[in-house]
Chain A
């Protein structure tokens, strides 16, 4: 049989075939699907119209409902959407509904999916959000879809998919201190541009990835969509397998690409030469070295989102600000409730991360969620309401993304965000005394 990429192997299984290749279109069986609060009402509406209100969903276990975007708000429309979700979840017997205001509440869907044990190697997962690609970190083929495709999949368990070509991104060597996966992906986005991987999969491999922790791998896959990619994927390593085991799963062995598999392009990155990278306003591919923009005065720093609000990001941030004071308003939003709880549990030199952040003057959101990453309703924690210059660990800096259209948002790693918060100007974390 001809060699296949990881993506081709997974999609062959889901299409019920021995072999598929890039460019072919197949009906594929999905393993799981999630919808979040801004898209659930649309999905439910289409489902009811097309299949009927009494129609069964494809699986009660494998449809996951996750409020995360516009939660803990006074906005009537946003709260109305949660009511629709509750009704549907109840009527269909949805087993995993992480409802707001309950002990089940988790937060940002992409991290919540992992924590809930819904992300597994070799599976095909859909989500109504472009950052669904995050799950590729565990060898899962995960893609963002719109309401119509989601509603169809929810009723039938199927999706019509074109098998994407793959770009191999080979990253070798040891990462320097103060450089993280966020810097790697911002660097790669600068190389590829915002449409450099359109319709394609970014398949990451190399010694750097083999040594990388699960959450850092998530950051890398998460922003594949910023290059237009259909998905980002990495064959599981020990760290990603252990991460799932700690959640009580016994993941199957991840598929590997065959020798001689067909890649449309190969990009090689030497990790040891990496430096802190920033994406300048107003696009995630406006990459520059942090040193090129250092000294730029900022008015606000934001730590949060599926990209930059995981425990690993908080750890890196706390390590930098411990014993110091931030110089500009600094907002921190844990991606999930579990990250929030870990801030209290985890300690550096006997002091919890939560206390370190508080002592440094960082404002910590009372609830986990997407918050100001995508602006949100007026009054959202950390929302950029005026034309500020902001450093943020999130994933997009398009005009108006965090609120105000004239605001200038620089995307960085948690380390660079911390160094910047401490100095009040964009600062390379390696230059922090």
Chain B
């Protein structure tokens, strides 16, 4: 009987992997010690990147020298123990100050969140603050309301005339969602019921993605890269799919016709597989959008961080040299991000429409 792997090859492979692991672990050891050095004044790339993609209670615009220019956002907390609602500006909590018994925890389990200064936990606080992501969502909601109410009015005023201005910019997109996404997926009789939801989702995702690429206020907030936001959108799709599901749809999940009985009766294998499928579809929708947008932001920020890393390691001249390459790559990646913004919105809307269509299918 031939041996598949020679014994010596196996031994060498295992020892090779073991040695590589130990080499990497010594780097991890050094990293622990160097982290302290970085906090003292070096440049910490990981910290900068996560600062830009995570949520925060103030909107940081720029840092001139040692002076931070940022917009403090309102903090709204409801204290479950004392039963009081506190609303104040987050400038009171800047730099770790304690205000009315609350502070922003600088490290530990609750890093970045508002905790009670005495206890150090945030279990008793319901945090309803307007954070960076919430403010960006409100801003794009106001932008969308303005855009669509104004074109609705101009359609009413200019009935039967050619579209003009903002109408002619948005009309191809709206007709694209109707003719190429909703009608083929849902069918030409029922699609009108779902058009408001599909149009809202499509434009919400596109506008937030495009605003996320603009680096300065009011853009530059990572809305769709926040799993909470994409979770809500996927949950809405799931709720609508389940509520328009016909009897045939649920029959196909619980009691699929044409499948032998022993896959359903003592242990309901097929129903479990189908039920898992019902839940995985919205979860995959959520993760696809979240990971695409977050990865795009992290890569662009990483290229920008390279400039500062090189400047710290090899001096300012290396920083300038690398900045040419870095900026070129970042511009290219930003153009790619614009394409990804549209593609991700299209895929989310198309898949939602497909799920609605499949749920409403009548038995032939």
Is B one of A's binding partners?
no
Residues of A within 8 A of B (CB): none
